[in-house]
Amino acid sequence: MAMANFLAVFLLMELIAGGYRDGANGLTMNYYVFSCPFAEAIVRNTVTSALRSDPTLAAGLVRMHFHDCWIQGCDGSVLIDSTKDNRAEKESPGNQSVRGFELIDDVKEQLEKQCPGVVSCADIVAMAAREAVALSGGPVYDIPKGRKDGRRSKVEDTLIAPAPTFNASELVRVFGLRGFSAQDMVALSGGHTLGVARCLTFKNRLSDPVDPTMDSDFSKTLSKTCSGGDDAEQTFDMTRNNFDNFYFQALQRKSGVLFSDQTLYNNPITKSIVKGYAMNQAKFFLDFQQAMVKMSLLDVKEGSQGEVRADCRKIN
């Protein structure tokens, strides 16, 4: 009886708090409140346990969500494994920084036992990224749910992803084509406050002549990192596992790791945004969470446009 009363109160609270509906696509905050009421708790507990063991996983989960949404929309296509007849998105060089596939598998397995065929892999990715941000000290926010999983994942589709060699004007343009403002783009770039970059993605800045937009001492740091080879890792800022505004402060010191990072401080349109976030972490957090919700709605699939995969790694 006590459990029944608890569940009734829980559902009522979810309905009150989760009444938001995204008018463009019908996703809702409380999409699983009746069909799989403990879906959110399962995701949260699994991510919490995983990050307790390996805090570096947070960066991989945030990257996963971005890389999933940018290609074919937020439809879990980044999770699909390649087959002998198809090279999937995972094969892209740009997706080598994505981690957490085993965690998504774990969540999916638990959810299939609780409520089979209900919770999509796309929603699991979006919720896992949200939890990773919050558990790393970042903003706490919610996202509407109800995405369906896509049936396509091809490595050639990833060619449209923003490259680490893009300048600020190119970034503003490509993000603008997807409906994001310059502010959205800079805020989302702040996700680089978590994690590392491989030498392969920034070694071009060290060629003769060395990128003049980079601090000379920092260029020596990057050169030392790259002495370990293309896969050697460099943290984006001094707190790789903490979600904070140190990334933007690094840009002010001309210590952005990627060209596409430092360029944000060299362009008059984006420089003022960077300076604002470097001074005001709360402002960055607010804009980041709003941009993340916006990104989570990119080209979502509903109804017959997609499916709910039984196994996130393969199409039903």
Please check if 311 is assigned to a binding site.
no
Q: 160 or 119, which is more confident? A: 119
The CA distance from 222 to 219, in Å, is 5
At 43-89, the pLDDT tens digits run 999 999 999 999 999 999 999 999 999 999 999 999 999 999 999 99
Q: Across residues 163-170, what is the average pLDDT?
A: 95
With residue 198 as reference, give the H or E element that holds it: strand 196-198
Q: Across residues 281-298, what is the average pLDDT?
A: 97
Please check if 77 is assigned to a binding site.
yes
Please check if 40 is assigned to a binding site.
no
Please check if 268 is assigned to a binding site.
no
Please check if 162 is assigned to a binding site.
yes
The CA distance from 122 to 296, in Å, is 10
Whether the Cβ atoms of residue 193 and residue 137 lie closer than 8 Å to each other: no
Q: At what angle do helices 281-295 and 268-279 cross, to 10 degrees?
A: 120
For residue 209, whether the previous peptide bond is cis, meaning omega lies within 30 degrees of 0, is: yes
For the beta carbon of residue 205, count every other beta carbon within 10 angstroms. 22
9 confidence band (pLDDT: 50, 70, 90): very low
For residue 25, what pLDDT is reported? 62
* DSSP helix/strand/coil, 196: strand
Q: Tell how strand 196-198 and strand 233-235 pair up.
A: antiparallel
For residue 193, what pLDDT is reported? 97
Please check if 139 is assigned to a binding site.
no
Q: Across residues 216-223, what is the average pLDDT?
A: 96
Whether the predicted model's global pTM rises above the 0.85 cut? yes
Average pLDDT, the chain: 92
Please check if 221 is assigned to a binding site.
no
Among the listed residues 67, 108, 130, 254, the single catalytic one is 67
For residue 12, what pLDDT is reported? 45
Percent of the chain with pLDDT over 70: 92
Residue 249 has pLDDT above 80, yes or no: yes
For residue 87 the two structure tokens come to 């090279």
- What are the Cα distances from residue 283, in Å, to 43, 168, 190, 245, 286? 27, 21, 12, 10, 5
Please check if 244 is assigned to a binding site.
yes
- Torsion angle (degrees, nearest 10) of CA 105, 111, 113, 119: -110
At 191-205, the pLDDT tens digits run 999 999 999 999 999
At 175-191, the pLDDT tens digits run 999 999 999 999 999 99
Q: What's phi and psi for 16, nearest 5 deg?
A: -70, -45
Please check if 65 is assigned to a binding site.
no
Please check if 49 is assigned to a binding site.
no
For residue 24, what pLDDT is reported? 47
Q: Confirm whether 67 is a catalytic residue.
A: yes
For residue 95, what pLDDT is reported? 86
At 91-136, the pLDDT tens digits run 998 888 789 999 999 999 999 999 999 999 999 999 999 999 999 9
For residue 26, what pLDDT is reported? 77
